[in-house]
A and B are shown apart, each in its own frame.
Chain A
Amino acid sequence: MDKQLLLGAEAVAVGAIDAGISGVYAYPGTPSTEITEFIQKSKDAQSRKIRSKWAANEKTAYEAALGMSFAGKRSIVCMKHVGLNVCADPFMNSAITGVNGGLILVVADDPSMHSSQDEQDSRAYGRFAMLPLLEPATQQEAYDAVRFGLDLSEAVKLPVVLRLTTRMSHSRAVIERKAMRDQNAFNPDVNTRQWILLPAIAKKNYAGLIDKQTAIEKSSAESPFNKVVEGKGKKAVIAFGIGYNYVMEVCKTNNLELPVLKISQYPLPKDMVQSFIDKYDDILIVEEGYPIYEELLRGFSDNKKFRGRLDGALPRMGELSPDAVAPALGVKPVVGQPVPDIMVNRPPALCVGCSHRDLYEELNSVLSAYPGKAVFGDIGCYTLGALPPYSAINSCVDMGASITMAKGAAEAGLHPAVAVIGDSTFTHSGMTGLLDCVNDNVQVTIIISDNSTTAMTGGQDSAGTNKMVDICKGLGVEPEHIVTIVPVKPRLEQNIEIIKKEIDYKGVSVILAQRECMQTLARKKKAAKK
């Protein structure tokens, strides 16, 4: 059998190719980006004509995947955890329509917020939508879970969620591949009415979803991913997903023989869990994420036999590790030497020569004359403008929020109200907000820092490249207030004048600050040399 050393994210990608998907739909986001990038580069995927281009955002990605499922083919849709907020609408409703071809939502959570705004736990969405959810503990399980999940999806006619976390997605191990199987035949579901969520049909479908809970729980009970590791004594552990690895690591190093129930498939297999918890007096709940199942198991009357994140046995927030789990298992953690006092942090910074640097220098220079100003930032490399030496933005909330927050603040009386947004973020979620601005004719200055790429996540294609002016015109911004500048040193004074003029304009103005990202530029030059 073919063995390969792969990141968890790549294991999902290979698993999907081998399991016969016809398409992957995704918008980049750490730690999920590598899944789609792997498929885009894969020779196997190319020869099998698997579609894999980036989507404009997670919602368009999810809906396209659902369309592929409608047509009878298998697909996966990949995103980071906050992306699931963006596509929550199609996600929730796809549980009501059900699927035709197998559909997996691969969602990568980021506990500890290594590169995210929050550490929300997508398992809550799995429960919310009443869908099966897989949470692999090893890279091999990640590979296997894709085929298993697609089969389950087609068997119960529902989307399946595959949840990764940063550590699973970005850690390598050897996996063994299975034989590649064919893609599904084209078989559009044109003869049923399940896809039309008119209330009468939706009610019927929702009742069907409730009925299916028995079948999906049975699948969890028989799951190859859930198991009991026998042990001794009255203390036990229920370990979810990658939490299992940390428990087993501590047990192995310290020769503990604790009984462990490993859960990697949801909904919880009720009988399996009940018979396990009946046997023990003291049960540690180890979840890589929110204490969702700990809360559930404790119940309203707070059954004290359970321990975990809620009673301080484990840290209340953040990623787990063997060191976080050890004390909860009664093991005194070994620690090496402390970090010496001379240590300093090395925060990430904008690259030397980055266009965002010049833009912030110009913007700061203009705004220093306006005491009442605020700059609404957004998500991307340019968010680093929040740090010194620029300290140039007042907010960063979610993709697209810069424009709409500037709008609301302007309507409350703020001036200047400036938004700084990247090109990919603009096409992801900024365009509709700009339309709102135009319709209400608010006095806002929208700066699109357009570096022709999605830089933050590693330089993926950006949906609006070369289309920015037309998009803004199409949304109704007055053409004379769509101004393009090139943020470079020699044009500093000139750009300052332009920005000042647009800030003083009593309406919507868009400044396109266009210069390519240094990293993608360097990569292109290198590729051209070859």
Chain B
Amino acid sequence: MERNIIIAGVGGQGILTIATILDMAAMHAGLNIKQAEVHGMSQRGGEVQTHLRIADGQIFSDLIPMGQADLILSVEPLESLRYLPYLKKDGAIVTSDEPFKNIGNYPDEQKVLDTVRKSAENVVFVDATKIANELGNPKSYNIVMLGAAARFIGISNADFEWAIGNLFGSKGQEVVDLNIKAFYATTK
């Protein structure tokens, strides 16, 4: 088993929370992990991405080779397109459909969504803000995104549940339950 995942977004959107849960779930499932992150300059509202690799065998490179990503999980639609050279032929894209416009020349929104739709066979758009708000927990935006991507990751939902419990455990059972609910809101 080997999965290469690019998690993408804009600095400040919290993609590392998604990565942390994924890491913990993978560890719990007994897999090896390598995860290359972006720190520093690019965090200040710039594009950010993390290369996350999980496998039952040895992983050498911290970076995913081009054309080898099984999944692009993006919390912003334009950002999902930035890493297309990394996507496998049969790779999937799971992205939020909500643009983050902190630049003046953001391309036409509809065009962005149409381009994403054409860019892979498996494309899942997630209205994450709406879903998170409906659950009464706007902060669970990233967990909703993770739930939608879970089917492409190859780790059991039980392992994800464990990871969510582990991450939010210190904040009490109520917060854990809310986040588990957010995760399952989009797994189907």
Contact = CB atoms under 8 A, between A and B. Distances in A.
Contacts of A381: 44
Contacts of B145: none
Contacts of B41: 30, 114-115, 348, 456
Contacts of A115: 40-42
B37 to A, nearest CB: 5
A5 B82 contact: no
Contacts of A249: 60-61, 65
Interface in B118-171: 119
Q: Which 9 A-B residue pairs are closest in the complex by CB-CB distance? A: A334-B67, A30-B40, A115-B40, A249-B61, A115-B41, A348-B46, A322-B65, A171-B62, A348-B44
Interface string B88-101: 11010000000000
Contact of A346 (B24, B46, B86): B46
Given A5-B33, A171-B34, A343 B47 contact: no
A323 interface: yes
Given A336-B84, A336-B91, A343-B78, A171 B45 contact: no
A170 B102 CA distance: 26
Interface string A319-346: 0011100100000011111111011111
Given A114-B42, A347-B46, A253 B65 contact: yes
Given A345-B103, A348-B44, A349-B45, 15 more contacts: A114-B40, A167-B63, A174-B32, A322-B61, A334-B66, A335-B67, A336-B66, A336-B69, A342-B108, A343-B82, A346-B46, A348-B41, A351-B45, A456-B41, A457-B40
Interface string B50-90: 00000000011111011111000000001001101111110
Interface string B4-46: 0000001100000000000110010000111111111111111
A284 interface: no
A172 B37 contact: yes
A18 interface: no
Interface residues on A, range: 35 or more
5 contacts: A30-B41, A171-B37, A336-B88, A345-B103, A346-B102
Contact of A30 (B23, B39, B63): B39
A31 interface: yes
Given A248-B60, A321-B65, A346 B10 contact: yes
A168 B34 CA distance: 10
A65 B114 CA distance: 57
Interface string A151-174: 000000000000000011011111
A244 B23 CA distance: 24
A174 B108 CA distance: 42
B87 A336 contact: yes
A246 interface: yes
Contacts of B66: 323, 333-336
A34 interface: yes
Contact of A167 (B36, B67, B82, B107): B36
A134 interface: no
B115 interface: yes
Given A31-B40, A338-B85, A340-B81, A322 B63 contact: yes
B48 to A, nearest CB: 9
Contacts of A323: 65-66
Nearest to B116: A340
Contacts of B82: 339, 343
B44 A349 contact: yes
Contacts, number: 150
Interface residues on B, range: 35 or more
A33 B41 CA distance: 13
B168 to A, nearest CB: 16
Contacts of B87: 336-337
B95 to A, nearest CB: 14
Interface in A216-257: 242, 244-246, 248-250, 252-253
B71 to A, nearest CB: 12
A350 interface: yes
Contacts of A457: 40
A7 interface: yes
B17 to A, nearest CB: 14
Contacts of A336: 66-67, 69, 84-89, 91
B34 to A, nearest CB: 5
Contacts of A339: 81-82, 84-85
B137 to A, nearest CB: 18
B132 to A, nearest CB: 20
B62 A245 contact: yes
Contacts of B35: 171-173
A326 B103 contact: no
Contact of A5 (B23, B67, B102): B23
A7 B34 CA distance: 9
B81 A343 contact: yes
Contacts of B63: 167, 246, 321-322
A352 to B, nearest CB: 9
B102 A340 contact: no
B112 interface: yes
A337 B91 CA distance: 11
Nearest to B10: A346
Contacts of A246: 60-61, 63
Contacts of B11: 348
A110 to B, nearest CB: 9
A139 to B, nearest CB: 9
A349 B102 contact: yes
Interface centre among B39, B59, B62 (most CB of A within 10 A): B62
A326 B45 contact: no
A173 B34 contact: yes
Given A323-B66, A336-B88, A174 B60 contact: no
Nearest to B27: A5
